[in-house]
Amino acid sequence: MTRQDIENIVAQGIANAIPAFVVAVKSPIEPQHIVPSKRTSEDNFSNSINGGNNHDNESQHTPFPKKQKAATPSCTFKEFLACKPTEFAGNEGATASLRWLEKTEAVIAISKCAKDDQVIYASNLFKEGALEWWNTVLQAKGRNRAYAMNWEEFKSLVERKFCPEYEKEQMANKFLTHRMLGVDCRGYTSTFFEYARVVPNLASPEPVLISRYIWGLISEIRNIVKAARPRTIDDAVELANTLTDELIRTRDEDRKKELAQKITQGFRVGNSSNFKKRGAGQSSAQPFCKICKKKHFGKCNKLCNFCKTIGHREENCRKKSIICYNCGEAGHFKTECPKLANPVDNKPKAAEGATKKNARTFQLTTQEAELIPDVIAGTFLVHDVYAKVLFDSGANQSFINTSFCQALKLPLTTVRQIFTVETADGNSVKINQVLQKVEIELSGHKFAANLLPMKLAEFDVVLGMDWLIANHAQIICDRNSIEIQSPTGKVIMITGDKPRKPLKFISVMKVANYERKQGIVYMISVIISTKGKELKEIPIVLEYPDIFPEDLPGLPPDWEVEFRIHLIPGTTPIAKAPYRLAPTEMLELKKQLDELLSKGFIQPSSSPWGAPVLFVKKKDGSMRMCIDYGELNKVTIKNRYP
């Protein structure tokens, strides 16, 4: 085949392929319907040129590329802000923090925010304290690493910071003690779910949540909801709301009925014979009253001229027939006689022996007193001695701890009246002694109190209702204070001790960080000095004074067996340089050496062996001299008698 023949074949193949390409360019939308009319000749031509490599030829002559799917566009920050997300300051508590996270998640879902932009957009909603915290996170982690977090990591980081454990514990206590007040079922439900959101471990599974919700309802609807056995929390809430609305409606109807009854009682209509017609337009007249002998509506307000009470006339007064056995006058009993010097009670006396009176007290600790709202505790002067005083409205009488009573050294007065005191554990104690007129100083004013001696838990004095009533005291629970009228008539306010917060421990790293920032760090060292018994106070020591002398007379006599320290053969004498000592330590060394020399415990030596000394400070502040035998121990042959 000549060159001319090859050129003719190529020209013919190109001419045959041109119509197919023209149709493909005009109709690119439906390429599957485009079939070149002379595809076979073109393939034959390609095979003749490329040696039958059809795969490469098809890839080179594909008339159009495949259409790729466009990526879903992410929202911009402007579109994100258009969904009105809430800014976050971080100072509104755990509930507000969780609510902000939920609202931000909803905004992310609505705006179709990309995963890579979620943390960036959400962190731009921070302000004030939350913004300062986020800046520290960026410095610690680095911007790239911080913004590379996914949403769950970011959410966990925010919860750890703004939902601390102590606040979760407070929410858990509120969740466990939350109750419905009045008929505000919807308010109770809203607050209940706020607490449950913070402590999900106490609100799951759902049967536990339902049981806890039913427990907090008021008694009028609680048993009905419980008997219905709702399967879901929504069913329980719906049933509780329905029953509450029905209860409100029933109460309103009962109130209207009572009001109608009160109105109709004043307008009772008697028999037609008791009324006179007063005119054509008047259907009935006023009823006749048997008390005042007049006609009027409603209850009779006639005042008795003898006893000055309403409801009867003087001739019908019962007190006119009462004769006093003391003065002989009418109108009062003997117990009410004004001429009686010592009026007696109408109660019968005991036959013999002393009278008995019951009292009641509760054994509270200081921790329990801080948690109970109607008791106030504090430290006050009792007979010029500081004492823990509890103002307890649950105790009938006032008490003093027996140990504190002995410390005051005040005389006890024995009374005929026996007090039977019931404690919280059900036991009863009989007391017939009283510590009378004990002075208690409160805010510079002195008050007197009669106290019953009794063993108390942690308080020295308990002031009960007898003392509170006598001094016109009022306990203000929300302020943790009490108002008392002083002997001069002035009202004074007494505030109890505030609950003490437990000490918080910080790590060594935090202390180092504070020092690095030149913060003020206070360090407190507590030294507990316990004085033991002296030798003089031990009886056995007094029997043998020669064995237990106050001071040793000197070195013991020479023994028959010499004491030796066996060293490794070839050891040269060790004489280590002395340690550097402070001036105070040098003075202490000289003092102790002189003392030991004077007592004969040591003597001057010119031995080539030497060991350095150092001082260790003891608990009492004195210095203890120690000799460093470390180098000598290295060359000593060990035996079982070291």
Residue 574 has pLDDT above 80, yes or no: yes
Q: Are 536 and 572 a contacting pair, CB within 8 Å?
A: no
> What is the rounded distance in angstroms from the CA atom of residue 42 to the CA atom of residue 196?
77
**How does DSSP classify residue 321?**
G
Radius of gyration of the chain, Cα coordinates, nearest whole angstrom: 50
The model's pLDDT over 19-36, given as tens digits with 9 standing for 90+, comes to 665 554 444 444 444 444
**Where does 458-525 have alpha helices with state H?**
465-470, 508-516
Domain with CATH 2.40.70.10 in the chain: 356-495
Residue 61 has pLDDT above 80, yes or no: no
Q: Are 162 and 94 a contacting pair, CB within 8 Å?
A: yes
The model's pLDDT over 71-97, given as tens digits with 9 standing for 90+, comes to 455 678 887 888 888 888 877 777 777
How many Å separate Cα 295 from the centre of its chain?
68
**Among 401, 399, 395, residue whose Cα is nearest residue 475:** 395
> What is the rounded distance in angstroms from the CA atom of residue 377 to the CA atom of residue 388?
7
Residue 15 has pLDDT above 60, yes or no: yes
Residue 442 has a pLDDT of 84
Half-sphere exposure at residue 47, Cβ-oriented, CA atoms within 13 angstroms: 8
**How does DSSP classify residue 364?**
-
Task: Quote the pTM value.
Answer: 0.29
**Among 162, 159, 163, 74, residue whose Cα is nearest residue 120:** 74
Confidence of residue 201 (pLDDT cuts 50, 70, 90): low
Q: Are 83 and 104 a contacting pair, CB within 8 Å?
A: no
> What is the rounded distance in angstroms from the CA atom of residue 21 to the CA atom of residue 14?
11
Q: Are 214 and 225 a contacting pair, CB within 8 Å?
A: yes
Residue 6 has pLDDT above 70, yes or no: yes
Ranges 252-256, 278-282, 469-473, 486-490, most confident? 469-473
Residue 5 has pLDDT above 60, yes or no: yes
Q: Which CATH superfamily is domain 563-634 in?
A: HIV Type 1 Reverse Transcriptase, subunit A, domain 1 (3.10.10.10)
Residue 240 has pLDDT above 70, yes or no: yes
Which two three-digit tokens encode residue 422? 């019931």
Which two three-digit tokens encode residue 188? 């109770």
- Residue 368, CA distances (Å) to 362, 376, 390, 397, 421 in order: 11, 11, 11, 20, 21
Confidence of residue 269 (pLDDT cuts 50, 70, 90): very low
> What is the rounded distance in angstroms from the CA atom of residue 23 to the CA atom of residue 617?
105
**Coil, helix or strand at residue 371:** helix
Residue 404 has a pLDDT of 87
* Interval 114-133 mean pLDDT: 82
Bridge-partner residues for 491, per DSSP? 485
Residue 463 has pLDDT above 50, yes or no: yes
Burial classification of residue 452, based on how many CB atoms lie within 10 Å of its CB (0-12 exposed, 13-18 middle, 19 or more buried): buried
In CATH, the number for domain 356-495 is 2.40.70.10
Residue 354 has a pLDDT of 43
Residue 513 has a pLDDT of 82
> What is the rounded distance in angstroms from the CA atom of residue 453 to the CA atom of residue 394?
18
> What is the rounded distance in angstroms from the CA atom of residue 406 to the CA atom of residue 388?
15
The model's pLDDT over 345-394, given as tens digits with 9 standing for 90+, comes to 444 443 334 444 555 455 555 555 555 555 678 888 888 888 888 888 77
Residue 316 has pLDDT above 80, yes or no: no
**Coil, helix or strand at residue 333:** coil
The model's pLDDT over 161-194, given as tens digits with 9 standing for 90+, comes to 777 666 667 777 777 778 888 778 888 888 888 7
Residue 9 has a pLDDT of 78
Residue 340 has a pLDDT of 63
* Strands 413-422 vs 356-360: parallel, antiparallel or unpaired: parallel
Domain with CATH 3.10.10.10 in the chain: 563-634
**Average pLDDT of the chain to the nearest whole number:** 73
CB atoms inside a 10 Å sphere around CB 36: 19
Which two three-digit tokens encode residue 148? 């590379």
Confidence of residue 503 (pLDDT cuts 50, 70, 90): low
> What is the rounded distance in angstroms from the CA atom of residue 27 to the CA atom of residue 337?
126
* Interval 586-613 mean pLDDT: 86
Strands (E), 407-502: 413-422, 428-442, 445-454, 461-463, 474-476, 481-485, 491-495
The percent of residues above 90 in pLDDT, for the chain, comes to: 0
Residue 308 has pLDDT above 70, yes or no: no
Residue 589 has pLDDT above 60, yes or no: yes
- How many angstroms separate the most distant Cα atoms in the chain? 167
Confidence of residue 273 (pLDDT cuts 50, 70, 90): very low
Q: How far apart are the first and last CA of the chain?
A: 116
Confidence of residue 65 (pLDDT cuts 50, 70, 90): very low
Which two three-digit tokens encode residue 571? 């050891």
**Where does 531-581 have alpha helices with state H?**
539-543
**Coil, helix or strand at residue 164:** coil
Confidence of residue 37 (pLDDT cuts 50, 70, 90): very low
Residue that has been written with the tokens 């104690």 in this structure? 429
Residues in the chain: 642
Q: Which residue has the higher pLDDT, 274 or 304?
A: 304
Residue 42 has a pLDDT of 42
Residue 268 has pLDDT above 70, yes or no: no
> What is the rounded distance in angstroms from the CA atom of residue 199 to the CA atom of residue 177?
13
Q: Which residue has the higher pLDDT, 565 or 553?
A: 565
